[in-house]
Amino acid sequence: MSRRNNVRGPTSALTEFLKESGITPTTIARRARTRQVEQPAQLEAGPSNAQQNGDQPESGPRGTNGNAEEYASDHLDETDEEQPAQKKRKMTKTAEAKEKAKAKANAKKKKGDDEDFEDSDEDEDAYTALSKMWKDNSKPPVGSFENCARCNKQFTVTKYTMAANPPPGFLCHLCAKASGADPFKKPAAPRKRKAATEKRNVVHFEERRFPSLASLCIKIISHYIDDVEALGDIGSINLDELAKSLARNRSLTPQNAPLFYNVENTNLTLYDVTHLTPPAFNTLAALNPNLTSLRLDFCGRIDDTVMDSWTTSLPHLKRIELLGPFLIRIAAWKKFFETHPNLEGFLITQSPRFDLECTKAMVDNCKNIKELRLNEIGKMDDAILNEIKQYGEQLTYLEIAYPGVPEALSDDVVVDLMSAVGASLKHLNLSNNVNLTDGFLFQGLKPHARQLSTLVLANLPELTDAGVAEFFDTWKAAVQDHPNRALVNLDLSRNHELSDKALISLLKHSKKSLTNLNINGWKTTSQEVLKERSMIGLSRNSWRNAIRSKKSRCGDVNGSVSNALASAASPLLVSRSMWLHKISSAFSLG
């Protein structure tokens, strides 16, 4: 703002003061230069001071306020300007802070070298030089031409021109965009951080989402667990249903588990004990000393210490069913068998450690085993089967499904096993032992199985349609004196070779009593087969049986059965099998 005339408009008190004290831009600039000469070493101080000094003429009243005040404040003791300075000290301080921040930023940007720029700028014109102080001094003036550091094309410098990343030079707009830096992007304003507590609260709320009624009830139950009377009459409630509800929500904890404990308990079933810790399992045993049957699903946290404590605290245990006891080691298993010679049911699923040695210990110690399940055992092999053979005809329930290695068991050994134990078996599951063939059916099951009511042979890809068909056709006739009764539950799912023939013959064999049938995954079965009377016979009889055994929503089932039969069955394998699966599972619900 050059003053060609001497007209002066209204000025602020600060400007007045500056005028009075004779502080002008040029004097300040001169002093700044002299200061720089005096203290060249003080890098920070030097430029800051210079900038501060230089700032004054630039932004008119703003700049002058701060710097003039600073100057005055610097020399408070020396000059007599204390009174007017005091009034403005507050502004001084904030302005000072602003200046220092800007100065530091500027100083950081350019160290050393840029002092020359500053000096030269200031030299040419004190007033205009300062306006560039807050801009990038190294940048050529806006409007001039520059060669791009990358593509060497000529371009006009604008205020958006960006410096090249390895320092020398500037980039034309295209190269700047290509390098990713957006010249038009405004610098992100620093956001005030939320106070830690506030932030914590908000996050907590979001995680909660909307509380479900079940979770609220569980919280209340856990809260009142010690004061059981407060929870009302538990007797009228089916504790098993309660256990299932808690399991569905995975909310069974050491705190609310005692709801199920009782000294008089002989049976205990908990469907999801993921949250129970080893001490909690010890408590479980301590508070239920009279248990004869224990079932724990998802019991992954049971370890050797728990087994050790169970050796003494569950003396009457006859049946144990565990899903997922993978932490228990061989020694612990052995000790368990040694201390529970009366064990009659040993059903475990998923253990990579249970091996031949454990089986031997079991066979040696527990002579009364009637129910045995060793599903998903990593170390399953033929040798273990040979041990199990020793149980002979006392086994009624046998499951050796999904071994760790699907090829672990060979056809012959399984047949051999069946010859030993087959006569008494009521339940057999050998799923996913992929080496089993039709031979197993003919040599293993046909001659030996007499009382089988549940047969699960899922995922045995070697079974053939013709083989299975023949098996069912000839099974009844096989053993003259004591032919096998019709099957109640049959699961032949995921055997891709099986089709019409197998279905017809198995229905002929078992239609009177079959309540569960799973042929999910079979090859296409034709419409005719489904519409066949034997099929209708199956559904009606099964329905009748279902009604006899349990009450159910038969209305719906009826509808879906007749729908399935009456409507034209599509040739798609999946849908048909699934229909049948649905019907059978609906029956099984009923």
Partner 1 sequence: MEEPQGEKSSQPQDDWVRFISSDGYSFLVKRKVALASPTLRGMLDVSSNFAEAAMNTCRLEERGIVVEKLLEYLAYKSTFESAPKKEDIPDFMERIAPEIALELLMAADYYDS
Rounded to the nearest whole angstrom, what is the least distance from the CB of residue 243 to partner 1 in the complex? 11
For residue 405, which of 424, 428, 433 has the smallest C-alpha distance?
A: 433
Stretch that binds partner 1, among 170-178, 233-241, 433-441, 491-499 (CB under 8 A): 233-241
**Nearest to partner 1 of 18, 561 (CB atom):** 561
| Rounded Cα–Cα distance for residues 390 and 400 (Å) | 15
Q: Which residues pair with 46 in a beta bridge?
A: none
By CB under 8 A, tell whether 195 contacts partner 1: no
**Nearest to partner 1 of 534, 558 (CB atom):** 558
**Nearest to partner 1 of 209, 482 (CB atom):** 209
Asked if residues 314 and 289 have their Cβ atoms less than 8 Å apart, the reply is yes
Asked if residues 168 and 92 have their Cβ atoms less than 8 Å apart, the reply is no
For residue 507, which of 524, 530, 528 has the smallest C-alpha distance?
A: 530
Stretch that binds partner 1, among 65-73, 109-117, 238-246, 482-490 (CB under 8 A): 238-246
Of these, 105, 181, 220, 405, which contacts partner 1 (CB under 8 A)? 220
Of these, 9, 210, 481, 533, which contacts partner 1 (CB under 8 A)? 210
Stretch that binds partner 1, among 137-145, 147-155, 229-237, 432-440 (CB under 8 A): 229-237
Of these, 23, 157, 164, 234, which contacts partner 1 (CB under 8 A)? 234
Positive or negative torsion for Cα 168, 172, 173, 179: negative
By CB under 8 A, tell whether 242 contacts partner 1: yes
By CB under 8 A, tell whether 145 contacts partner 1: no
By CB under 8 A, tell whether 216 contacts partner 1: yes
| Rounded Cα–Cα distance for residues 32 and 119 (Å) | 10
Stretch that binds partner 1, among 51-59, 153-161, 246-254, 499-507 (CB under 8 A): 246-254
By CB under 8 A, tell whether 224 contacts partner 1: yes
By CB under 8 A, tell whether 203 contacts partner 1: no
Rounded to the nearest whole angstrom, what is the least distance from the CB of residue 261 to partner 1 in the complex? 15
For residue 60, which of 15, 106, 3, 13 has the smallest C-alpha distance?
A: 15
For residue 485, which of 426, 428, 440 has the smallest C-alpha distance?
A: 426
| Strand-strand pairing, 145-147 and 154-156 | antiparallel
Of these, 221, 294, 486, 503, which contacts partner 1 (CB under 8 A)? 221
By CB under 8 A, tell whether 255 contacts partner 1: no
Of these, 75, 90, 159, 219, which contacts partner 1 (CB under 8 A)? 219
Helix, strand, coil content of the chain in percent (nearest 5): 50, 10, 40
Of these, 113, 124, 226, 241, which contacts partner 1 (CB under 8 A)? 241
| Rounded Cα–Cα distance for residues 427 and 401 (Å) | 12
Of these, 248, 512, 531, 540, which contacts partner 1 (CB under 8 A)? 248
Q: Which two tokens stand for residue 20?
A: 């009075």
**Nearest to partner 1 of 184, 205 (CB atom):** 205
Of these, 27, 245, 262, 410, which contacts partner 1 (CB under 8 A)? 245
For residue 345, which of 276, 267, 287, 419 has the smallest C-alpha distance?
A: 267
Host H or E run for residue 348: strand 345-351
By CB under 8 A, tell whether 566 contacts partner 1: no
Rounded to the nearest whole angstrom, what is the least distance from the CB of residue 232 to partner 1 in the complex? 4
SS3 19: helix
Stretch that binds partner 1, among 97-105, 191-199, 232-240, 271-279 (CB under 8 A): 232-240
**Nearest to partner 1 of 218, 469 (CB atom):** 218
Rounded to the nearest whole angstrom, what is the least distance from the CB of residue 262 to partner 1 in the complex? 15
Asked if residues 465 and 500 have their Cβ atoms less than 8 Å apart, the reply is yes
Host H or E run for residue 397: strand 397-399
By CB under 8 A, tell whether 496 contacts partner 1: no
Rounded to the nearest whole angstrom, what is the least distance from the CB of residue 239 to partner 1 in the complex? 9
| Rounded Cα–Cα distance for residues 32 and 70 (Å) | 13
| Rounded Cα–Cα distance for residues 467 and 500 (Å) | 12
| Rounded Cα–Cα distance for residues 289 and 299 (Å) | 19
Q: Which of residues 402-441 bind partner 1 (CB under 8 A)?
A: none
Q: How many residues make up the chain in this entry?
A: 590
Stretch that binds partner 1, among 22-30, 123-131, 200-208, 433-441 (CB under 8 A): 200-208
By CB under 8 A, tell whether 201 contacts partner 1: no
**Nearest to partner 1 of 248, 496 (CB atom):** 248
Taking phi over 0 as left and psi of -120 to 50 as alpha, with beta for the rest, 432 belongs to: left
Burial of 338 (0-12, 13-18, 19+ CB in 10 A): middle
Query: What's phi and psi for 145, nearest 5 deg?
Result: -95, 145
By CB under 8 A, tell whether 527 contacts partner 1: no
Q: Which two tokens stand for residue 441?
A: 């059916």
Stretch that binds partner 1, among 86-94, 122-130, 242-250, 350-358 (CB under 8 A): 242-250
Footprint of partner 1 (CB under 8 A): 202, 205-206, 210-214, 216-221, 223-224, 230-232, 234, 237-238, 241-242, 244-246, 248-249
